Every structure is written in C-alpha cells, then in structure tokens.
Amino acid sequence: MQQAHAPISAIFLDLDGTLYIEERWLPGAVDTVRWLMKRNLPIRFITNTTRRSRQQLQRRFQKQHLDVPSNWFFTPARAASRWFHQQEAPRGILALVHPDVLEDLQDLPLASSDSVDFVLVGDMDEAWNLHALNQGLRALLNGAKLVALQRNRRWLAHEGYRLDAGAFVAALEYGSGVRCEMVFGKPSPIFFRMALLDVGAAPERVLMVGDDVESDVLAAQRCGMRGALVKTGKFRPETLAAAASPVDVVLEDIGQLSQWFRTQAGSLGHSPSAGHRDDRSPHGS
C-alpha cells in the first residue's frame, strides 16, 4: 500500500540547474513558477550563491515578468542572518563576504575590528586581499568563532577555475588553529532548518525541488521534507543510481511539476493563514 503523505503547503525551488542554467531559463520554468504562485502557497527559491544579494536575484526574475518579492529568495546569507539572531554577539560579527551580499546582512551587528564574536567567511571574489585575511586571523586569535556561508574548494568562472570560500576558510583554520564551527549553505541541515523557520511550515508539508540529488533532495529529505529531483542541470543517472537512499519523486524537468501535482490527489494543501500575504510585505522577514 502506498504511504499517505501530508498535503504540500510550501514549495522550495532550487535555482541554477532547476529553473535556469547560467542565463538560459529551462523549458517550462517560468510557466511553472507562475502556476505555483497562483496556488497561493508560500515559495522559497533556494540557492547556494554567496556572491549575489536577494535583490539581484529578484531582478533576474523581473526580466521574465515574474513579480517575486526579494524575501522569497533564501540564500546562505539569509540562513546565517536567522541563525545569528539566535546567538549572543555583543562584540559583533566580522563579515568577510562579497560586497553585494552585505545588504542581506544589514540586520546583524557587523563590525570591522579584530575583537569580535564571530568571523563569517563567504566568497569575496575579487575583493579578497591579505588585509582581510589577516584581520580575520587576528579576530580568531582574539577568541572569535569561525563560521562560513559555504566552503567549496573552487568554482568555474568564464576564464577557468578560481579559489572559492573553502580555500580561505582552510587558510584561516590553519593559521589560527580554530576550526570552522558552522557552514550555512546546502546541504547543511541548518540551512534547511532556517528555511523552514523562514516559511513557517512543518517539514513534512514542504516539497524541495532540485537538480542535485545529494545537496538538494536527499539533504531536504533527511530534514523531514519531501524531495523531487529534476533531470536537468547537474543531474546524472549514475549519481541517482548511487544515491544513499531513495528519492521521493523524479521528474524529467521542472515543467512536469504542475502535472505531478495534478496526479497527486490532495497533494496541495492550504497555506497558513496570512503566511503568503505577509511574505509579500516589503518589510517581511
């Protein structure tokens, strides 16, 4: 007998590889986003980017005539912001992040001194310099804790590979002897827990859709959500075959999502009262 699932009351959608690849939107992606928005369910666009703000992501959607509020985009910076609000940081936070991401951290007690409670490392890209690294080093030696938006080793730019945030986290760990205590990006459970708090939904009533079987789908399923894998972006059949546990749903592409919902009797539930309406407020969290 097929296991009964709670109706879906919120949707998490991965971006790169699921809705678009670089500058090209994938077939059915724009129509699917419009269809989901008409269902009046809370949506979060889930991404691991640490070089773009939520406002920049919002402008990309606006080019497709998608009226999506900026607070529907959930990034490692947003996860970090929610987490920091649960911590004590009287001396502040030294944020070694991309300049464009600072606007998503403005609600935090950011500081530029060597005496802070936390050093937060992201991808500063061209802004990386020895001064920033040495300031982070001194803060760690003065007792700060080390946390990171993500710790990927490298990323592929148009001219070739570049060092990513993980390389600089490793340098600070080696120089200070302080271990990184928290990573906020996928597939970290803290990322998904903060996203669930952000949308205000129980995990069993959230569907996470993505192209990465481990970082998107299985990571979400381990947090109690349902997972849907699309066969676009970084999807590879051999990766799915080697997955540590079964995936709940497999779709050819994002364009099949609305059809899948239509075949699932009662799969779409009602959103929490006022939750979707409050999301649209320009002052929403």
Question: Considering the domain boundaries, does residue 250 fall inside one?
Answer: yes
How high is the pLDDT of residue 284?
A: 39
Question: Considering the domain boundaries, does residue 141 fall inside one?
Answer: yes
Asked if pLDDT for residue 105 goes beyond 70, the answer is yes
Q: What is the largest CA-CA distance in the chain?
A: 62
- CA angle at 175 for the pair 172 and 181, rounded to the nearest 5°: 45
Q: CA-CA distance, 68 to 72, in Å (whole number)?
A: 7
The mean of the pLDDT values for the chain is 90
Helix, strand, or coil (residue 225): coil
Question: Considering the domain boundaries, does residue 270 fall inside one?
Answer: yes
Q: CA-CA distance, 234 to 101, in Å (whole number)?
A: 25
Q: CA-CA distance, 163 to 184, in Å (whole number)?
A: 19
Q: CA-CA distance, 12 to 160, in Å (whole number)?
A: 31
CATH, residue 142: 3.40.50.1000
Write down the residue that tokens 């803060």 correspond to: 139
Q: What is the mean pLDDT of residues 133-155?
A: 94
Task: Decide if 39 contacts 268 (C-beta within 8 A).
Answer: yes
Do 146 and 207 share a domain, yes or no? no
How high is the pLDDT of residue 276?
A: 43
Question: Considering the domain boundaries, does residue 273 fall inside one?
Answer: yes
Do 179 and 260 share a domain, yes or no? no
Do 122 and 172 share a domain, yes or no? yes
Do 97 and 170 share a domain, yes or no? yes
How high is the pLDDT of residue 277?
A: 37
Q: What is the mean pLDDT of residues 231-251?
A: 93
What are the helix and strand counts (H, E) for the chain?
10, 14
Query: What is the length of the chain?
Result: 285
pTM: 0.86
Q: How many domains does the chain have?
A: 2
Which residue range is the domain that position 269 belongs to? 10-48+187-279
159-161-165-166 Cα dihedral, nearest 10 degrees: 180
How high is the pLDDT of residue 3?
A: 58
**Closest by CA position to 144, among listed 124, 123, 173, 165:** 173
Q: CA-CA distance, 15 to 118, in Å (whole number)?
A: 29
Question: Considering the domain boundaries, does residue 271 fall inside one?
Answer: yes
Do 29 and 94 share a domain, yes or no? no
* pLDDT band at residue 272 using 50, 70 and 90 as cut-offs: very low
* pLDDT band at residue 217 using 50, 70 and 90 as cut-offs: very high
Question: Considering the domain boundaries, does residue 99 fall inside one?
Answer: yes
Write down the residue that tokens 């060092």 correspond to: 163
Q: CA-CA distance, 251 to 14, in Å (whole number)?
A: 14
Do 202 and 169 share a domain, yes or no? no
